[in-house]
A and B are shown apart, each in its own frame.
Chain A
């Protein structure tokens, strides 16, 4: 990392409060997503309580150490949200070397220059982990118009998909549509060489999905986001205690009357 006086980590003169260049950002990745890249796993135990897999706890502690440790290389929340670092779109600011993010992010890298490419995700203890960020349409089980909803959905994923997918920036699930999609991407970013890493990544999906079902999902999602902003905004945090609190709260949320 580089501070505003040009000192780099590791170094005795390095000032961690004045970093102008970071090394890495898990961009637009919630806590559950960050965790999945260290290895998929369920956090709902058979008895209905929350029990986070050890690799998920390792992921959060690793990110925390990257933000607040002696050799910080990940920006904290205040930096992420600052205008100097893109006000949320950190990697686009050109001041963060690597970003772990979804493919749809190609929507928003206009200012990042023309000298970047895609790469594979490092392994965790020798194991390759990936994550499929699937944005899906759903029909609620309580809908009063299931047949009509099915008709609309069929249209959206069929005839209308040619217009919708570019708008979402998502890769088509249909194999026959994928080449055209990446052809369009190649024309948009001609300097990018490694588009094939995305398709190759499909061999390593997160099972169970990081965005899979949990009881009272919306409340759990809010809680995991609060957990993440807590460790991204708080130096000297006892991460073990914070994770334990998060786990206890998640249990309460899973067991809340519905």
Chain B
């Protein structure tokens, strides 16, 4: 039997199918782009172009009242390196991080462990109760906390006086007590992180606990050898968000102390200094320089954290990212 060769019609027919296929694929792609074009436009207009623009501005002496750009080379970056206020703001941010970071990572975990405890009665009520503050606008919450921390009429000092503390702290005006006060305010919004930890805890297979129990593990060993490794990706995720949030921290001091840096400069966080440089001092080019510098710091710290996860983050599928 002679080998069959494709006829011209078959070739044409196959080509047409391919052509129709390509055409359909292109049409699909075109419609895809049309559907995502609002997002693409938003991304270009509100993210990519402003990002590139700030990089360009950092090499200029731009002012809002100027019509053109005057390039000054690395002048802003040279000033940045010698800017004592910038370094102080960075130290303030890191100093506060020593208080805030452990609390922001471990307090939600502890709460989640409590919410997940088998003997806890009324779990739903507690879970909702701890999550509710998260849905209250944070600025409103800050005002509430400002009143609660008021040295004279605030509930916290009233309570302290009632239990015998005759001279309770000036929370928001004392250089010593301001960071603990800010941490307390921050605890208000840990509901979301608690929920993520709780979801991760509930996703740990119960047979692992059973096996650990058979092996003689107590509560602590079960947590350390079973729970912690299994939820470590979520802890890592919270850690990344917390660290990034720490370097961008400024809303609370802006509202509590009107962004003055009081008391004694202890609340002049890096991002607050950046914000004031942009919007109070209207120094756009130096503000852009500060923004790029903190971006680089956050990027480096985040990369270090990603590198560190190989030592303590456990992925059940064996995948190490």
Q: Which segment, of B134-142, B208-216, B281-289, faces chain A?
A: B281-289
Q: Which segment, of A54-62, A152-160, A218-226, faces chain B?
A: A218-226
Kindly state whether residue A127 has any CB partner on chain B within 8 Å: no
Q: Nearest Cβ in chain B — how far from A14, in angstroms?
A: 17
- Within 68-113 of B, Cβ neighbours of A (below 8 Å) are at 72, 75-76, 79, 82-85
The residue from B75, B268, B282 contacting A257, defined by CB atoms under 8 A apart: B75
A-B contact count (CB 8 A): 76
Rounded to whole angstroms, the CA-CA distance of A222 and B152 in the bound complex is 27
Q: Which segment, of A35-43, A64-72, A77-85, faces chain B?
A: A77-85
By a CB distance below 8 angstroms, the chain A residues around B265 are 226, 230
Interface string of B261-281 (1 = CB under 8 A from A): 111110010000000110011
Instruction: Check A17 against B167 for contact (C-beta < 8 Å).
Output: yes
Known A218-B281, A233-B263; contact A257-B84, beta-carbon cutoff 8 A: no
Kindly state whether residue B180 has any CB partner on chain A within 8 Å: no
Known A78-B173, A142-B65, A226-B262; contact A256-B280, beta-carbon cutoff 8 A: no
Instruction: Check B152 against A84 for contact (C-beta < 8 Å).
Output: yes
Instruction: Check B260 against A226 for contact (C-beta < 8 Å).
Output: yes
Rounded to whole angstroms, the CA-CA distance of A214 and B72 in the bound complex is 22
* Chain A, residue nearest B72 (CB): A257
Instruction: Check A257 against B61 for contact (C-beta < 8 Å).
Output: yes
Known A225-B260, A226-B260, A233-B175; contact A216-B152, beta-carbon cutoff 8 A: no
Kindly state whether residue B174 has any CB partner on chain A within 8 Å: yes
* Chain A, residue nearest B257 (CB): A229
By a CB distance below 8 angstroms, the chain A residues around B83 are 252, 256
* Chain B, residue nearest A217 (CB): B281
Say which size band chain A's interface belongs to.
20 to 34
Instruction: Check A252 against B82 for contact (C-beta < 8 Å).
Output: yes
Instruction: Check A219 against B281 for contact (C-beta < 8 Å).
Output: yes
Kindly state whether residue B151 has any CB partner on chain A within 8 Å: yes
The residue from B72, B174, B286 contacting A256, defined by CB atoms under 8 A apart: B286
Instruction: Check B153 against A222 for contact (C-beta < 8 Å).
Output: no
Rounded to whole angstroms, the CA-CA distance of A248 and B75 in the bound complex is 20
Q: Nearest Cβ in chain B — how far from A27, in angstroms?
A: 18
Q: Nearest Cβ in chain A — how far from B101, in angstroms?
A: 26
Rounded to whole angstroms, the CA-CA distance of A223 and B75 in the bound complex is 23
Kindly state whether residue B127 has any CB partner on chain A within 8 Å: no
Rounded to whole angstroms, the CA-CA distance of A81 and B66 in the bound complex is 41
* Chain B, residue nearest A230 (CB): B264
Kindly state whether residue A151 has any CB partner on chain B within 8 Å: no
Instruction: Check A234 against B65 for contact (C-beta < 8 Å).
Output: no
Q: Nearest Cβ in chain A — how far from B257, in angstroms?
A: 9
Rounded to whole angstroms, the CA-CA distance of A82 and B172 in the bound complex is 12
Instruction: Check B261 against A226 for contact (C-beta < 8 Å).
Output: yes
Instruction: Check B84 against A229 for contact (C-beta < 8 Å).
Output: no
By a CB distance below 8 angstroms, the chain A residues around B175 are 233-234
10 residue pairs bridging A and B, Cβ less than 8 Å apart: A17-B167, A82-B151, A82-B152, A218-B282, A226-B264, A233-B173, A233-B262, A249-B85, A256-B283, A257-B286
- Listed from nearest, the 8 A-B pairs whose CB atoms lie closest are A142-B65, A230-B264, A233-B263, A229-B262, A78-B170, A219-B281, A218-B281, A78-B173
* Besides A230-B264, A252-B83, 5 other A-B contacts (C-beta < 8 A): A81-B173, A142-B66, A222-B280, A233-B264, A256-B283
